[in-house]
Structures are given as structure tokens and as C-alpha cells.
Amino acid sequence: MARKKLILIGGAMGIGKTTLGQYLVEKRLDNAVFLDGDWCWYMHPWVFNDENKKMVLRNIQFLLNSFIANSSLENIVFVWVMHQQEIIDELLAGLHGDYELYSFSLTATEDELTKRFSKDIDAGIRDQAALQGAIDRIQMYQDVNSIKIDVTGRNYPENAHKILNEINKGDGTHEN
């Protein structure tokens, strides 16, 4: 069996991480699993504090370690708002096992992100008040040690193709 691949996909809220990750797992990758870090934050009321932040990180690490240890899986796709290298570093510090890491950051123009975000607002998925925060984070991804994928004007199959081309080059950003 080929070496296991851990594929991280970061990007601003509303940029399309979840849909792209699900597309990769459902349509393009074999023996794959999808994990959205937001699942570990889904609580009501949502409380952002140190205790919850640490708990969420531990939960994500537990799930990723379980997937890494599972012999039937070859590809693990994890999506989350990873706008600082420190977030990725903390996440990776708690992972074990043999995997090849591929870290991607989805980027877009402000207009493109606004267009995508507005569709989510219309669908009742997002709140208008969160748009400016998402826009403010776009530039932060330039400082993340990742392969940048500009999704402006591109659909999910095109973005998936770009990610798979990078993975097929076989030069992951980190080996564990």
C-alpha cells in the first residue's frame, strides 16, 4: 500500500474548504476519509476560550490519529480555518504514525470570497456579520507554510485537480 497521505486544506470561512474536501473524498480519492475541524467546535452557545480551544485541538488530534492508524485508509482530508502556522504546528505536534503531509491554503480575491459567502448567507448557512472577519483573514494565509490554491473563478473539480497534481508530484510539505 502507498504511504498514507494527510491532506490539510485551510482557508477563510466560506471559501469552499468543506465542499472541496468532500468532493475529493467522494469523487477523486480512494480509501479516503473527510474530517471538518468545525465539527469539533459545533456547540451552543459557541464559546471561544482557552479551555474549549484546547479541547477542540485534542479532539481533532484524536480523530486524525485514529484515521492515521487505520490500515484501510490511504487518504485523510482535513479542512479547517488554519490561518496561522501556529495552528498547524500545534495540530501536527499531537499526531503520530507514518504519513506524508500535504498542506494547502485556499485563497481568493475579496470579491470572490464575498460572492461565495453571500451564497451561504442566502442559504442560511452563514451570517452577514462574519463576512468581514473572513475577508480580513485572506491575507494571513500568505504566511502559512502551505501550497496556495487560488480558487477565484474556479469550480470544485478544477480546484481538486490542482490539489491532486500537487499530491502526485510526491513532495509533501512534511514527513512524519
Q: Show the 3-state SS of 40-75.
A: HHCCCCCCCCHHHHHHHHHHHHHHHHHHHHCCCCCE
Q: Where are the domains of the chain?
A: 5-175
pLDDT (tens digit per residue) in 99-133: 999 999 999 999 999 999 999 999 998 999 999 99
Burial 59-70 (b: 16+ CB within 10 A, else e): ebbebbeebbee
Tens digit of each residue's pLDDT (9 = 90 or more) over 56-79: 999 999 999 999 999 999 999 999
Contact 43, 101 (CB under 8 A): no
Which fold is adopted by the domain 5-175?
Answer: Rossmann fold (3.40.50)
Encode pLDDT of 29-65 as tens digits. Answer: 999 999 999 998 888 887 889 999 999 999 999 999 9
* 55 C-beta neighbours (distance < 10 Å), count: 14
